[in-house]
Every structure is written in C-alpha cells, then in structure tokens.
Amino acid sequence: MLSYALKRITRSWKLFAALALGMTLAATFFGGINVAADTVGKQALDAQLANTPVDMQLRDFSVDGGKSLNSSVQGLVSNLQKIDGVVAAEPVGTSNLFIPFNASSSIMVISSTTVTGIQDASVLYQHMTLVSGRKTLHSNETLINSDSQQSQNFPVNRKITYTLYTNSSKKYNVTLTVVGSVSLDTVAVNTLGIGYYYQPFPGNPGLTTANQQASILIVSWEQTFLPVLAKNYNSFSTGNFSRFYSISAQVNVYLDRARLISPFAIESSISTIQQIDARISNLALQYGFSPNDNLLGQLQAFSSTMFSLRLTFTAVSIPVFFMAWYVGRTVSQSSFNLRRKEIGLLLTRGFTRGQLVRHFITEGLMVGLVAGLAGIALAYVLNPLFPQVLGSSSGATTILTSDTAIITIIFTLVLTLFAILAPARQAAAMDPAQALKGYVYLEETRPIRKRGAILALTLGAYQLITLAIGINYMNIGRYVYNANFLLVLFLIIAAVLSFALSFIGPFLFLYGAAQLSTGLAERFHKKFSRISRWIIGDVAALASKSVFRNPRRVAALVFIVALIVGYSIWVIGDLASQQDYNYRQAEVAVGSDIRLSGISSIANATMIADQLRGWGNITGATAESDFSGTATAGGIQIKAIDPLTWRQGAYYETNWFTGDINAVFNAMTANNHTMVLDHGVASYYSFPIGTTIVLYYRSINASVISYFGPDYSQSSGGPFGRSFSPEGWSFVPVGLIRPNATLFNPTNIVLAKASPNVSLTQLAFSLQAAYPSLKITTAQVATQGVPGVINVGTQNVLRLGTAFAALAASIGVGTIAYTGYREREKEITMVSVRGLSYRQLAGLLITEFLPLVIFALVLATIVGLIVVWGDALGQNSLNQNYLQILAARRVVFPLWASANILVIVALVLIGVFLPALTAARKDLSKISRTVRFA
C-alpha cells in the first residue's frame, strides 16, 4: 500500500503539491508561533525577574550582638551552600543609627541613618561603579552612594561621627571615614532597599529632597559591622531610646536560575523551586532566621501570564489553520474526482471501501509528514528572523527545540487527516459502475442549508450593530443598578452574549453573509462580466454560467477571502489605533515629548525654555506653571502658559479648544485677564463665555474666552450614583500670576518637542547632563517590564499572523482556482481550440473568480472597519480618567497599516491571476491529446 501510495503521489504531484503547500504554511506558522511564544516568554520572564536580584531573604528573629550573630550567620551560610541549586549565600547587616534631630536640643524628634554591612567578597561590588576614591574597605571605613544628595556634602576623606549608647550609662563614638563614592545599579539599589528619602547626617542640617536617591553608608561586614556595631549592641538596654541604635541581619540566597528556571516549562520550574525553598526554609528556622521567598510567587503569576499569551497566539493562528484545512479539503475533493476511474477499478479488483479509505489516508499522511518536515525546515531557516520580527533586544538566538519540532509534525499530520478524511470517505462510497465512466464535473445541486446561516448572520449583525453605535451593556448597568430585576437580568444576559460575540461575531456575520448572498454575488458577477466584455468580448458571459455551477464552492471562496481580509483589516486597524492611542496618552501624560520639572521659579523655567529653543535637536520649548484655583469653582486645575510659545513646545490637538484656536491664543497674548476654561467645569456649573472666574478672591480674575477638552460632567459616576469633581485643565496667560506667583505656589515645568527621528532617551541624557538638578521625563510608550514585553510581543505576533494569513488566503484562492481549472481542463481545452486567443482565454478564466474576490473584499472591508470602529467606541465608553477621555481612542490607518492591507489584497489577487494565466497557456501536444480523449 505504501509503494502504491507513493506512486500515486509522484504521478499526480501537482495536486498533492497544492495540498502540501497549504499544510507546509500551517506547519511553518505553527512552529513560528511556538518560537514566538518561547521568545516573548523568555523576554517577559527576564523582565519579571529583573528587579528581583535576591531569590530568598532569610531574616533573623532577634540579634543579641557579639559573637552569637557571627556564628549563627556563618553556620547558616555554610550549610546553605551545600544545597543543590544554591549558587551563593551572603550575609548583609543593617544598622539604624538614631540621633536627635538637633543634638543641642532636648526635643525628642529623631532621625536615622542606615549603615549596611556587606562582605568583602560580596557580589554586590559587581553592581557598583566607582565614581571617586576606592572600593576596598577597611575598619571604620565606608562607601557612599554617589546619586544621593549627601554624597555632595560628604566627599572622599570626610569623617562622620556618631555617639551611640548601649544603655543608659555606657556610650561610645563611631567615626566612619568616607573612602569612596559609588554609583549603584538597579540590582544593588533593590538588594539594599534604597528609597528616596532619608534624614541628614550629623553636621549637615536639613532634609534631603525626594528627587534624589536616599543616602546609605556601606561598610565591611567582617571589619566594621561585626566588631564595632554588632559587638557592642545590647538589645536589652534601657534609658533614652532615641540615642540607641538597632541592628538586624539577613542572608541573601541566590539560586541557579539558568538551570532551575525555564520559560518553556514553567510548571516544572515552579515544582523544582518549591522543593529547594522547603529545604532552605527548614535550615533557616534551625538557625533562628525567618525565610522570605521572592521568586516563587512571581513564577506562579508568570505561569498564568504565559497561559494567556499562548491562548492569544492560538487565537491568532486559527484563520491560518482554517485556510490550510479548507485548501486541503478542496484539493482532496478535486483529486479524488479526477481519479474516479482509478477508484472504480480498485473497487472492482476487490478493494473494500475501508481499505480504500485507509489508502487515501496513507497518501494524505505521507503528504502531511513531508509538509511537517518542510515546515520545520522553514521555521529553522526563518528562525533568525523571528526574534527581529518579535522585537527581541536580548541578542540571544532563538532555538527551535526538539519538542517544538515533534509537536509541529504531529499537528501537521492531524490537520492533514482532518482535511482529507471526509473527501476520502465520499470517494470510497462511489458506485463502481458510475466511477468507471471516468471524470465528470461535480455540479453541486443541493441547496445551501439556510437555517444555520441565518442564525450566524443574525448574531453577527447584532454584534456589528452594537459595535457601530457603541453600546456597552456594562456601562449602561451603572445607571440602572436599582432598576427592575427583569431589566437587570436582561442586561446581564446581553452583556454575556456581547462578550462572547466580541470574538466570533464578525466571523459569524461573514459566514452567514457568504452563504446567503450567493444570489447577490451572482448578480454582481454578471454586471462585472458586462464590463469585461470590452476586453475579451461576448465570451465573458460564459464565466458566470461556469462558476455558479457549484454555488457551495462560490460561497466558500467568498467566505475565506472575506474572513482573511476582514480579519487583517480588524487586526491591523486595531494595532494602528492602539499604537496611536498609546502614543497620544504618553504625550498627554507628560505634556510634550520631554518635561523638565523641579524648577524653583517661573523666571528660571522661562530662562531654561529660552535656552532649549537654541538646541538643534529641539523644535520648540515653553515654560508652564500649574496650580489649583482656590476661589470660583475651587479645585480647578489651572495651567499658566506663555501664549506665544506654548503651541510650539506642548502637545495638543486642535479640536481640544472650542472656536478658532488662533483667535484664542491671540486674545490670551493681548490680554492677561483671559482664560480657557475646562469644558467639564463650565458645563457642570453653567459658566458661559464671558464669565469672570476669580482665582484669588477679588484681586486676580480672568474672563472665559473659550473651553478646553471634552464635557465629562455627565460621565462622572459609579454604581451608587453620580458625582462630579474637576479633573480637566484650564489655561491662563502666565502674565496673570507672575506678579503674585507666591500666592499660588505653582509647580513650574518646561515642555519641549524633539526634532523628528531624535531619540528621546538620548535627548533625556543630554538634558540631564545639562540640568543635573532637574527631573527629566520622556513621553515614551512603556516597552519594559512584563506588561510592556507581553504587549509588544503580542502586537508583533499579530502582525506576523496577518502576514501568514494573507499568504494562506493567496494559496487558498489560488488552489481553489487551480483545482477548478484542472477539473474543467477538457472544457477549457475545447474552448481554446474553438479559436479563443490567449488574451481572451486568460480574461475568461480571470473573470470567473475575480468578481467573487472583489465582492468578498467589499464585504470584508465593511465588516473590518465596523469592528475597528466598534473597538474604539467600546474602549472610549468605559469609565475612564480625564486623560483617556481627552485623548480618546480613534480609528487611524497610517501609511504602514494601509500598505500592509494593500499587500494582503495584492496577495489575494495574485491567487486569482497566476492560476488563470498558467491555465490559459496551452501546449499544442497537450491540446491534441486532451481533444483526442475528450
């Protein structure tokens, strides 16, 4: 049976090649999706654990000081290093040195300094960059973090003296000499637990600012922490506790993450980590230490994230797999129909119908095996491309694992089996007498079942209507929470139905429309044929008669083209709209491309803005002062701006301002006592244009000349009723508050727009170097961390999915056209010998399928645009904050999105033209042979 199957595949290789092509594409995409999931999963796991440098922290219950601390820590560390999976364990000591806020005062307000002791061979030294001095520590020497404010006040060789009390009568002095200033990376900061607010050191009155890193003193565990701080510590001291100090110790445990944790087998990794954690915890308790795991909870959370990620990727794959299945099914039907005489001979020679089915399945599985191997080979060849497409920045080469290869082959075999099983059974059920008559074109005369199509069309149309008009049942429920029970029950059912249809509703509509619009498609086809008569003549009328001999195949062709193109418009439109929304949200949140904050006065902000306008990589800069109004409609957020420069430096959209925006800013330039009022405030309090708004009693006021932003006054509310609080922005000229700026205590910032193609990150570094005391914020969409990695990875996989779906659609349309031409080869040859030129014959064949594809493209475009529009309305209907309402999501198709859609349409059209042009080329010897046996 295997040899005969191989012989048949070799003889009819073109038809089997069409089957193998679709399956190969599905196998390649399946392997690529698994590579994508592994790649994105690895990036997400790295991001998840990037800020978790210590896997387990073992904290002491209580410390008596002296030798007991050293012995217990050393015993614990020694035994921890014997546990398989532990690569390092090191102690870290912490001491809070308490001193009076003012040493000459009797006021019992205290401040503290954190002194951290680390081992001389600590791995933390690898995460410190020496700025000045030296790293090596000796007794009573300390390092200070260079990014803190105190590092400026305590340079190298400066001494810090503390007077410490062990009880009410005994005291001793500790003098620490600063020998080095080090810059700590993120790992060191997180390991040492450094925040952004610390009390001052002795001899340096005043508090540090919250914009800078907290100061920390790093001493040697062996030479300073144990012999000086821990040795004299007495936990049972009595007396003035504000002069005492406390110490604590912990052991940081580092596991072999590279060996123990795999994003490809996260559940197995969790099990392994749990076993090691149990051994470490048991050992820690024996030495009086409390275990605290930092790793296991994150891995468990990541497990659910990976499940959602693979579920999303599977949903992306469904159209491609459906196309491969349908192409395989269509090719198999045509292939078995062309082999009718062979089937009849096999049945008369003693083949049972079961043997015949098994023979056909064997042929299909052999093709599926070849397709699976080809898919693995393509996935391996394209392997370096996947990380680039997926936006990988790790630099690591993705590996197509053996597990992925095996699963890909199994998947391809199963998909091939499902594609050929039904046609194989139909072929085996042929009447031998009818089969021996040879090939006959199968004209589908059975009517299409309309009941299921009508139901699908109804459900899909319902979902499209709700999307088009922006109905959100969950949003409606906020206003009818106390309504009639039946109404609430109806809304719950409608919300559940809408949620389910949000995924499959558009596809149901396309399926129902394709099944029920055969008559409409036929009329469209006939009208198109009239146009094609100008090119190929009256023979164009044959196209409609030929193609509609099998209305089921027509409906299927319309559906698969509409499915793929509609899906592509949906995905690409959603991606483009979401990217536009994310960009605008980042710009609105910051105010522009770059924001400089922490500026002490309006004058300084104006000076900095003037300086930035001279930078070559900045196109505009403006100063802005933000404060809250305290009189009329108290609590409104006001921005004092320079009307001449604000539009050059800030981010805004013209439709945010009512009226002529140029006239508004000209009026603000000419008159300081003018105001653009928040639209929500104006609507809620009924403030018309011309209303005088008092900012500070009667002394400072402004007249409303325009409104800003949306009217959100009616959208504020929750499940227990509506309320209103001002959230939007109002604008006044900065000249209104400049003479009395101290009355408002504004926050002064500078906004700047970067030149095109300028890296905001590099620009931020330049600004930070030029203005080290200021805080620099950039309007960049988050791509770091787990949410950023997952979001970017999913978007890139969606792009990859649309590309494969377009290829699948092109192959599907081409295969349907090719098999149709092969089934009617004798008819086409007879038409050719009747005198049709190559141009006429090619035009006739193209006219058969091109109108159907155009009809499907129109249907897909309508559905795709409605879904994209509905998704935007759905997101905007949620209970959002002011920035999300101000820069609401909109439907956009930038150049890259339009180009992608046009490429997809071009691929589908290639699937129409290429088989037709190929079938129209007739070799004279083949024509004579076909006519002779016709």
In order, the DSSP letters of 561-595 are HHHHHHHHHHHHHHHHHHHHHHHHHHHHHHSSSEE
pLDDT in the model for residue 642: 95
Distance CA 499, CA 473 (A): 10
Q: Of the ranges 234-243, 272-281, 686-695, 892-901, which one carries the lowest mean pLDDT score?
A: 234-243
**Stretch 806-816: mean pLDDT, rounded?**
78
Distance CA 85, CA 714 (A): 59
For residue 462, being part of any structural domain is answered with no
618-633 core/surface letters (b: 16 or more CB in 10 A; e: else): bbbbbbbbbbebeebb
pLDDT tens column, 590-612: 999 999 998 989 999 999 999 99
Pair 40, 394: CB distance under 8 Å: no
pLDDT in the model for residue 242: 43
For residue 264, being part of any structural domain is answered with yes
257-270 core/surface letters (b: 16 or more CB in 10 A; e: else): beebbbbbebeebb
Distance CA 349, CA 160 (A): 104
pLDDT in the model for residue 237: 45
Instruction: Please name the helix (run of DSSP H) or strand (run of DSSP E) that holds residue 764, with its range, or none.
Output: helix 760-770
pLDDT in the model for residue 28: 82
For residue 201, being part of any structural domain is answered with yes
Distance CA 476, CA 472 (A): 6
**Stretch 154-182: mean pLDDT, rounded?**
77
**Stretch 854-881: mean pLDDT, rounded?**
86
pLDDT in the model for residue 563: 83
Task: Label residue 276 by pLDDT band (50, 70, 90).
Answer: very high
Q: Based on the domain organization, do 643 and 765 belong to the same domain?
A: yes
**Stretch 488-502: mean pLDDT, rounded?**
78
776: Cβ–Cβ under 8 A, 6 or more apart, which residues?
594, 595, 596, 764, 767, 768
Q: Based on the domain organization, do 15 and 78 belong to the same domain?
A: no
Distance CA 413, CA 402 (A): 17
Residues listed for the chain? 934
pLDDT in the model for residue 272: 92
* Cβ-based burial of 708 (10 A; exposed 0-12, middle 13-18, buried ≥19): buried
For residue 508, being part of any structural domain is answered with yes
Please tell me the number of Cα atoms within 13 Å of 406 on its side-chain side. Answer: 3
pLDDT in the model for residue 665: 96
Q: Phi and psi dihedrals of 689, rounded to 5?
A: -60, 135
Distance CA 726, CA 687 (A): 14
Question: Which residue is associated with the tokens 């010897």?
Answer: 925
Question: Which residue is associated with the tokens 């050293």?
Answer: 70
**Stretch 168-174: mean pLDDT, rounded?**
67
Q: Based on the domain organization, do 830 and 879 belong to the same domain?
A: yes
pLDDT in the model for residue 105: 42
203: Cβ–Cβ under 8 A, 6 or more apart, which residues?
160, 161
For residue 35, being part of any structural domain is answered with yes
Question: Which residue is associated with the tokens 């396309």?
Answer: 510
Distance CA 530, CA 535 (A): 10
Among 231, 262, 294, the domain boundary falls at: 294
Question: Which residue is associated with the tokens 């792009």?
Answer: 799
406-411 own/partner pairs: CB under 8 Å, 24+ apart: 407/30, 407/34, 408/27, 408/30, 408/31, 408/34, 408/372, 408/375, 408/376, 408/379, 409/27, 409/369, 409/372, 409/373, 409/376, 411/26, 411/27, 411/30, 411/372
Q: Based on the domain organization, do 608 and 556 belong to the same domain?
A: no
**DSSP symbol at 397:** P
Full residue range of the structural domain in which residue 169 is found: 53-294
pLDDT tens column, 905-933: 998 888 888 888 888 775 545 555 554 44
Q: Based on the domain organization, do 858 and 934 belong to the same domain?
A: yes
Q: Phi and psi dihedrals of 668, rounded to 5?
A: -70, -30
Q: Based on the domain organization, do 161 and 276 belong to the same domain?
A: yes
Measure CA 503 to chain center: 18
**DSSP symbol at 224:** I
Q: What are the tokens at 613?
A: 């306008």
pLDDT in the model for residue 131: 87
Closest listed residue to residue 64, CA positions, set 56, 75, 73: 73
Q: Is 489 helix (H, G, I), strand (E, B) or coil?
A: helix
pLDDT tens column, 643-677: 999 999 999 999 999 999 999 999 999 999 999 99
Per 3-state DSSP, what percentage of the chain is helix, strand, and coil (rounded to 5)? 60, 15, 25
**Stretch 235-253: mean pLDDT, rounded?**
62
**Stretch 761-774: mean pLDDT, rounded?**
88
Q: Based on the domain organization, do 624 and 538 belong to the same domain?
A: no
**Stretch 781-807: mean pLDDT, rounded?**
68
pLDDT in the model for residue 536: 63
Q: Of the ranges 127-141, 215-229, 245-259, 539-553, which one carries the lowest mean pLDDT score?
A: 539-553
Q: Based on the domain organization, do 835 and 922 belong to the same domain?
A: yes
Q: What is the sign, positive or negative, of the torsion defined by CA atoms of 162, 163, 167, 168? A: negative
Closest listed residue to residue 929, CA positions, set 775, 781, 825: 825
Distance CA 57, CA 284 (A): 10
Task: Label residue 614 by pLDDT band (50, 70, 90).
Answer: very high
Closest listed residue to residue 338, CA positions, set 783, 843, 823: 823
Q: What is the sign, positive or negative, of the torsion defined by CA atoms of 863, 867, 873, 878? A: positive
Asked if pLDDT for residue 846 goes beyond 80, the answer is yes
- Between residues 416 and 9, the one the model is more confident about: 416
pLDDT in the model for residue 101: 44
pLDDT tens column, 378-396: 877 776 665 555 444 444 4
pLDDT tens column, 701-747: 899 999 999 988 876 544 444 567 888 899 999 999 888 887 788 89
pLDDT in the model for residue 245: 58
Task: Label residue 141 by pLDDT band (50, 70, 90).
Answer: very high
Distance CA 503, CA 839 (A): 44
Q: How far is CA 325 from CA 25, 374, 859, in A?
A: 11, 17, 23
627: Cβ–Cβ under 8 A, 6 or more apart, which residues?
638, 640, 737, 744, 745, 746, 747
Amino acid identity for residue 361 in this structure: I
Distance CA 831, CA 653 (A): 62
Closest listed residue to residue 521, CA positions, set 540, 547, 500, 495: 547
**DSSP symbol at 739:** G
Distance CA 315, CA 666 (A): 53
Give this prediction's pTM: 0.73
Q: Of the ranges 258-262, 542-546, 616-620, which one carries the lowest mean pLDDT score?
A: 542-546
pLDDT in the model for residue 622: 96
Among 401, 416, 440, the domain boundary falls at: 440
Q: Based on the domain organization, do 152 and 275 belong to the same domain?
A: yes
Distance CA 283, CA 281 (A): 5
Q: Based on the domain organization, do 403 and 530 belong to the same domain?
A: no
pLDDT in the model for residue 657: 95
Q: Based on the domain organization, do 33 and 130 belong to the same domain?
A: no
Q: What are the tokens at 686?
A: 């009924």
Q: Based on the domain organization, do 580 and 621 belong to the same domain?
A: no
Distance CA 919, CA 260 (A): 58
Give the residue ranges of DSSP H helices in 101-153.
150-153
Measure CA 198 to chain center: 37
- What mean pLDDT is reported for the chain? 79
Distance CA 886, CA 707 (A): 13
Count of structural domains within the chain: 4
For residue 697, being part of any structural domain is answered with yes
Q: How many CB atoms lie within 10 A of CB 835?
A: 7
Q: Is 509 helix (H, G, I), strand (E, B) or coil?
A: helix
pLDDT in the model for residue 162: 74
Q: Phi and psi dihedrals of 163, rounded to 5?
A: -105, 115
Pair 26, 324: CB distance under 8 Å: yes
For residue 479, being part of any structural domain is answered with no
pLDDT in the model for residue 240: 45
For residue 114, being part of any structural domain is answered with yes
Instruction: Please name the helix (run of DSSP H) or strand (run of DSSP E) that holds residue 246, with its range, or none.
Output: strand 245-255
Distance CA 698, CA 631 (A): 9
Amino acid identity for residue 59 in this structure: R
Q: What are the tokens at 328?
A: 């395989």
Closest listed residue to residue 77, CA positions, set 232, 249, 274: 249
Asked if pLDDT for residue 103 goes beyond 60, the answer is no
List the Cα angle 536/542/544 in 5-degree steps.
110
Task: Label residue 233 by pLDDT band (50, 70, 90).
Answer: low
Q: What are the tokens at 477?
A: 């429920």
pLDDT in the model for residue 740: 82
**Stretch 173-190: mean pLDDT, rounded?**
86
pLDDT in the model for residue 210: 42
Among 749, 778, 807, the domain boundary falls at: 778
